[in-house]
C-alpha cells in the first residue's frame, strides 16, 4: 500500500528493522488499525451522519452515494448514520431503521459497495428516546405531534427534552426488556447484511444516554438513581448486541463524555463507565463525543475540542478511543494520534465538505495512498 517507497533507503538493515522504519515513516493517520479480526486500512472514520432521506426506514440511492463516495475517497471506516431499532425510535420519519428484512437488504447493497472500495463499514445502532418524532432539519427540525405524522415518544422518565417537546411515556420494565430484544434483532440483521463493525449510540441525549444522565433519568427502580443503575441499560444493551454480534467482530460505543450542564454526566463518571466496559471485554473502542441531553448546554468549540475526553478515557481506562469534533486538518489529526490521545480520528462535517478528504490529507502529510483506478487521472494537484 503506502509503505514500499522507503525500502531502498534502508538497504543493509535487517528485514525487521526495515519494516519498523517503514512503518514509522508512514504517518500514523495512514497506518492500519486492527480490532479483533478486522483490520482497517487507516485511522480515518466517517462519523455517523443522519441524512433524513429514507422512506419507511429503508436506505436508497442517496445513502449508497453518501457512504459509497466516502469509501471511494479513502476512509478506513465508513459509518452509517444512526439506524434505529424501532419506528418510534427514529429522530425523524425519514431516518433509517433495521427492524425488518427489507431494510437489511437495502443496507446489504451499500455494505457490498463500500467493502469493494477497500473500506470497512460500521453501522451505528440506536434509539432516539424522547428526542424522537421531529421534522427533518431543513423542515425546521421541530417536534412533530401525532396529527403532524409524529408519535408518542418513550424515555426513562416523563420529562420532555425542551419546550415544545411532548412529555415522553416512562418506560416500564416490560418496555425496557422489549427494547433490549430490539437491539439484539437489529444487530442480527446488521450481521446478516455484512457489516464489519457495530457502534452502539449511547450519546447525544438519545435513549441510552437518557438513562445514563441524572438530568433525564429520575427513576427510582433498578434503572435509575445510582451510577450502577443508570449504567444498567447500556450494559444490558451491550450484552444484547453481543448476543448477536460475533466475538471476533469489533463493537464501538459512542458516549457523551460530559453533558456540559451542572449535575449531568461528567468526565469522572465517563472514565468509570469506560473502565467497566474495558473490564467487561465486550467493547473495543469508545467514540468520545459530548453533549445533547440538555438544551442548556454551553459547549466551548475549537478544533479538537473533545480530544481531551478521548485522551483521558484512553489513559485511565486503557481502552482504545476515537476522537471526534472539529478535527478538520490533517496535521491536527496526525498530532492527536502521534501523542497517543486516540486510536482513531472520526470526522463528520469535513467529510461532507470533501468526500475525498483522506486522499487529500495523504498529500498534506507527504505520503501516498492508492486512488481508485478510475480516478487516478485526477491525481494531479
Ligand atoms: C449532518 C449531521 C448528521 C449527524 N448525525 C449523527 C448521527 O446519526 N449519529 C451521531 O452519533 N452523530 C451524528 N452527528 C454528529 C457527528 O457524527 C459528529 O459527532 C459531530 O458533527 C462532530 O464532528 P465534526 O466536527 O467532525 O462534524 C451528525 C452530524 C452532522 C453534521
Q: Provide the residue range defining the domain that includes 98.
A: 28-365
pLDDT band at 380 (very low <50, low <70, confident <90, very high): confident
CA distance 208 to 155: 9
pLDDT band at 2 (very low <50, low <70, confident <90, very high): very low
Ligand 1 within 6 A of CB of 129: no
User: Is 381 contained in some domain?
Assistant: no
User: Is 11 contained in some domain?
Assistant: no
pLDDT tens, residue by residue, 82-124: 999 999 999 999 999 999 999 999 999 999 999 999 999 999 9
Task: Tell me the best of 205, 348, 355 to mutate to test the pocket of ligand 1, counting ligand atoms within 8 Å of each CB and taking the most.
Answer: 348
348 C-alpha to ligand 1 centroid (Å): 5
What is the phi/psi pair of residue 355, to 5°? -65, -20
Q: What is the mean pLDDT of residues 338-364?
A: 98
Ligand 1 within 6 A of CB of 66: no
Ligand 1 within 6 A of CB of 201: yes
Residue 31 CA neighbour count, 13 Å, CB half: 17
- pLDDT, residue 54, reads 98
Just list the catalytic residues: 206
- pLDDT, residue 357, reads 98
Strand-strand pairing, 169-170 and 154-155: parallel
Ligand 1 within 6 A of CB of 307: no
Q: How many domains does the chain have?
A: 1
β-bridge mates for residue 79, sequence order:
122
Strand-strand pairing, 38-40 and 320-324: unpaired
User: Is 378 contained in some domain?
Assistant: no
Closest residue by Cα to residue 182 from 252, 233, 247:
233
Domain CATH for 311: 3.20.20.70
Please give the number of the atom of ligand 1 that sits closest to the Cα of 124: 9
End-to-end CA distance of the chain: 20
pLDDT tens, residue by residue, 176-222: 999 999 999 999 999 999 999 999 999 999 999 999 999 999 999 99
**What's the distance, CA 161 to chain centroid?**
22
User: Is 288 contained in some domain?
Assistant: yes
- pLDDT, residue 67, reads 99
Neighbours of 301 (CB within 10 A): 8
Backbone Cα Rg of the chain: 21
Average pLDDT, the chain: 94
Please give the grid coordinates belonging to residue 202. 449511547
The secondary structure of 213-241 as a DSSP string is -TTT----STTSSSHHHHHHHHHHHHHHH
132 C-alpha to ligand 1 centroid (Å): 16
123 C-alpha to ligand 1 centroid (Å): 14
DSSP run (H or E) holding 38 = strand 38-40
DSSP run (H or E) holding 309 = helix 307-317
User: Is 15 contained in some domain?
Assistant: no
Asked if 119 and 162 touch (Cβ cutoff 8 Å), the reply is no
Residue with the smallest CA separation from ligand 1 atom 23 is 325
Please give the number of the atom of ligand 1 that sits closest to the Cα of 346: 26
199 C-alpha to ligand 1 centroid (Å): 14
User: Is 379 contained in some domain?
Assistant: no
Find the DSSP H helices in 92-206: 101-116, 173-193
Q: Is 376 helix (H, G, I), strand (E, B) or coil?
A: helix
Amino acid at each position: 500500500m503506502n509503505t514500499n517507497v522507503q525500502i531502498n533507503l534502508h538497504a543493509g538493515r535487517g528485514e525487521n528493522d526495515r519494516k519498523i522504519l517503514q512503518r514509522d515513516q508512514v504517518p500514523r493517520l495512514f497506518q492500519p488499525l486492527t480490532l479483533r479480526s478486522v483490520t482497517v486500512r487507516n485511522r480515518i472514520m466517517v462519523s455517523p451522519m443522519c441524512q433524513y432521506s429514507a422512506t419507511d426506514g429503508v436506505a436508497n440511492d442517496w445513502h449508497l452515494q453518501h457512504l459509497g463516495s466516502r469509501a471511494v475517497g479513502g476512509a478506513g471506516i465508513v459509518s452509517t448514520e444512526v439506524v434505529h431499532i424501532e419506528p418510534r425510535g427514529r429522530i425523524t420519519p425519514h431516518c433509517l431503521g433495521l427492524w425488518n428484512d427489507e431494510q437489511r437488504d437495502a443496507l446489504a447493497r451499500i455494505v457490498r459497495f463500500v467493502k469493494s472500495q477497500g473500506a470497512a463499514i460500521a453501522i451505528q445502532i440506536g434509539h432516539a428516546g424522547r428526542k424522537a418524532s421531529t421534522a427533518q432539519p431543513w423542515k425546521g427540525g421541530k417536534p412533530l405531534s401525532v396529527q403532524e405524522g409524529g408519535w408518542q415518544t418513550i424515555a426513562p422518565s416523563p420529562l420532555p427534552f425542551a419546550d415544545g417537546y411532548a412529555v415522553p411515556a416512562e418506560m416500564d420494565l416490560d418496555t425496557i426488556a422489549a427494547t433490549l430484544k430490539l437491539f439484539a434483532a437489529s444487530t442480527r440483521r446488521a450481521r446478516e447484511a455484512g457489516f464489519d463493525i457495530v457502534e452502539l449510540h449511547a450519546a447525544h441525549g438519545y435513549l441510552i444516554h437518557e438513562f445514563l444522565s441524572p438530568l433525564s433519568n429520575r427513576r427510582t427502580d433498578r434503572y435509575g438513581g445510582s451510577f450502577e443503575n443508570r449504567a444498567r441499560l447500556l450494559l444490558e444493551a451491550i450484552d444484547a448486541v453481543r448476543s448477536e454480534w460475533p466475538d471476533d467482530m469489533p463493537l464501538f460505543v459512542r458516549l457523551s463524555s460530559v453533558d456540559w450542564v451542572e449535575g449531568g454526566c461528567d468526565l469522572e463518571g465517563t472514565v468509570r463507565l469506560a473502565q467497566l466496559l474495558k473490564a467487561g471485554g465486550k467493547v473495543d473502542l469508545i467514540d468520545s463525543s459530548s453533549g445533547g441531553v440538555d438544551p442548556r448546554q454551553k459547549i466551548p468549540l475549537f478544533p479538537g475540542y473533545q480530544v481531551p475526553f478521548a485522551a483521558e478515557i484512553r489513559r485511565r481506562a486503557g481502552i482504545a478511543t476515537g476522537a471526534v469534533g472539529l478535527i478538520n486538518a490533517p496535521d491536527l489529526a496526525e498530532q492527536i494520534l502521534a501523542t497517543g490521545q486516540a486510536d482513531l480520528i472520526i470526522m463528520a462535517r469535513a467529510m461532507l465538505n470533501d468526500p475525498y478528504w483522506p486522499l487529500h490529507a495523504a498529500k498534506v502529510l507527504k505520503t501516498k495512498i492508492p486512488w481508485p483506478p478510475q480516478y487516478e487521472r485526477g491525481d494531479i494537484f
